[in-house]
Amino acid sequence: MTHAELKRKIEDGLPFTLHVADGRNFDVPHRDFIFLAPRSSVVVVAEPNPEDEEETVTNTIPLLMVSGVTQTKPVDQVG
């Protein structure tokens, strides 16, 4: 996935799941949970700490490892 493709997906503002070549998946419920700097070769995804939901952990992922994204339904359309 290219920088431009991921940037467009983030700018859509809709929730999606980021898929990584090693099999991991990262839910991105809102654009505040992902950071892609201009001309960067990495993307940073925030998620709740599995050991303490009050804390957030960040994952720094090389863009070359991002294999794709899957659009998920916005919260107000789940049902």
Number of domains into which the chain is organized: 1
In a domain, 30, yes or no: yes
In a domain, 57, yes or no: yes
| DSSP state letters, 23-54 | S-EEEE-SGGGEE--TT-SEEEEEEEETTEEE
What pTM value is reported for the model?
0.85
In a domain, 77, yes or no: no
Q: How deeply is 79 buried, as exposed, middle or buried, from its count of CB atoms within 10 A (0-12, 13-18, 19+)?
A: exposed
Give the pLDDT confidence score for residue 46 in this predicted structure. 96
H or E stretch at 5 = helix 3-12
Q: Per-residue b/e over 50-73, b at no fewer than 16 CB within 10 Å? A: eeeeeeeeeeebeeeebeebeeee
* Domain span at 28: 3-66
In a domain, 9, yes or no: yes
In a domain, 15, yes or no: yes
Give the pLDDT confidence score for residue 74 in this predicted structure. 66
Per-residue pLDDT of the chain (79 residues; tens, 9 = 90+): 899 999 999 999 999 999 999 999 999 999 999 999 999 999 999 999 989 989 999 999 999 999 999 998 765 655 5
